[in-house]
């Protein structure tokens, strides 16, 4: 008997004030299923693209978590907060004379230093584990946490608008950021403020892209969860956005699901997908996702993660 529970991927526009786990809980109720996960946590303050897997779609989340992302953000110069964003109250403030000296050229120069590969120290109030315990839990317990710098890639960091209000004790800078997974935009705000000598934190953050999943695909969570649930992105369609694709016939699909190594079928994306040795690909049969498989150096396919499907 086939599984009739929801299977696929959903792009959600996370509302402000709700945690990523809170979104998962609401999606479980909306779709009437327990098996829901998300890729790439968004802080409660942030809004925008949160990609969720339902049913067997949770098996694809590991391939979504590591993709690049795009954000729109507002950086406030003139004060810092313990969390580097507006989820906590400002605790340090710039000298008005220092803030008055900051101009557009100085801001652009500070932003330019953070483009490309950089070594970034994540915000202490983050989900990174330190000796098995979340960093934010250690901070809230009163510990002084110093995280190690990590190499991240900021492929684009563009200033959209600057609003000078030095007389009010701040300057707001709207930016767009394209970055690798693991980049903390609030840490970028912190570091720009430090570089300029005036402190800085985020007051707004909206994620507009996770890999090939974009905000214009996103579903808004309704207040009434009794409303009909939307259609999901199919497992095959989602896999095509994440991995090179190999198509196989039903015989080879069955063999893969039985753990056998089979000869690859036709490459759907890229003619050189197997040239570099072992590589992960999505295996499709009759527009259904059979497995995520490894391409062996001899050209054979070995299933890594199987997706149970009905084959004629």
DSSP for 150-183? Answer: EEEEEEEEEEEEEEEEGGGTEEEEEEEEEE-TT-
Which residue positions in the chain have pLDDT lower than 70?
1-3, 125-145, 166, 265-278, 310-312
Contacts of 22 (CB under 8 A, 6+ apart): none
| Dihedral, CA of residue 115, residue 116, residue 117 and residue 118, to nearest 10 | -10
CB of 202 closer than 8 Å to CB of 74: yes
For residue 113, tell me if it sits in a domain: yes
Q: In angstroms, what CA-CA distances link 86 with 74, 120, 157, 187?
A: 11, 20, 21, 13
Residues 53-90: tens digit of each pLDDT: 999 999 999 999 889 999 999 999 999 998 899 988 99
So which residues are the catalytic ones?
Answer: 43
Whether 52 maps to a domain, the answer reads yes
Same-domain check for residues 169 and 52: no
Picking from 121, 174, 180, the residue whose alpha carbon sits closest to that of residue 145 is 121
Residue 238 lies in a domain: no
Strand order in the sheet with 245-247: 262-263, 300-306, 288-295, 279-285, 245-247, 266-267
Asked whether residue 1 is domain-assigned, the answer is: no
Q: Tell me, yes or no, whether 195 and 85 share the same domain.
A: yes
Do residue 104 and residue 114 come from a single domain? yes
Structure tokens at 4: 């009739």
> Structural domain tally of the chain?
3
CATH number of the CATH domain containing 272: 2.30.130.10
Q: What is the pLDDT of residue 147?
A: 74
Does residue 75 share a domain with residue 203? yes
Same domain, 263 and 166: no
In a domain, 140, yes or no: yes
């Amino acid at each position: 008997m086939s599984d009739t529970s929801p299977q696929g991927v959903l792009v959600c526009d996370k509302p402000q004030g709700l945690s990523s786990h809170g979104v998962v809980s609401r999606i479980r109720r909306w779709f009437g299923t327990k098996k829901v996960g998300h890729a790439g946590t968004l802080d409660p303050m942030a809004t925008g693209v949160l990609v969720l897997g339902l049913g067997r779609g949770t098996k694809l989340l590991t391939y979504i978590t590591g993709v690049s992302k795009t954000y729109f953000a507002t950086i406030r110069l003139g004060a810092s907060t313990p969390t580097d964003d507006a989820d906590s109250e400002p605790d340090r403030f710039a000298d008005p004379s220092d803030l008055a000296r900051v101009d557009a050229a100085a801001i652009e120069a500070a932003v330019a230093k953070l483009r490309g590969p950089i070594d970034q120290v994540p915000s202490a109030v983050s989900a990174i584990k330190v000796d098995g315990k979340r960093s934010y839990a250690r901070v809230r317990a009163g510990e002084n946490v110093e995280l190690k710098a990590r190499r991240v890639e900021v492929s684009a960091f563009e200033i959209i608008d600057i609003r000078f209000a030095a007389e009010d004790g701040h300057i707001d800078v709207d930016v767009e950021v394209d970055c690798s997974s693991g980049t903390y935009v609030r840490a970028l705000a912190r570091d720009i403020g430090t570089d300029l000598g005036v402190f800085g934190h985020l007051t707004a953050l909206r994620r507009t892209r996770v890999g090939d999943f974009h905000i214009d695909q996103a579903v808004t969570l309704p207040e009434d969860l009794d409303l009909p649930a939307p259609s999901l992105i199919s497992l095959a369609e989602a896999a095509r956005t994440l991995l090179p694709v190999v198509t196989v016939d039903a015989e080879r699909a069955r063999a893969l699901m039985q753990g056998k190594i089979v000869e690859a079928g036709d490459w759907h994306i890229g003619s050189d997908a197997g040239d570099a040795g072992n590589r992960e690909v999505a295996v499709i049969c009759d527009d259904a996702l059979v497995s995520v498989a490894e391409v062996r150096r001899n050209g054979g396919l070995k299933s890594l993660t199987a997706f149970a499907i009905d084959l004629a």
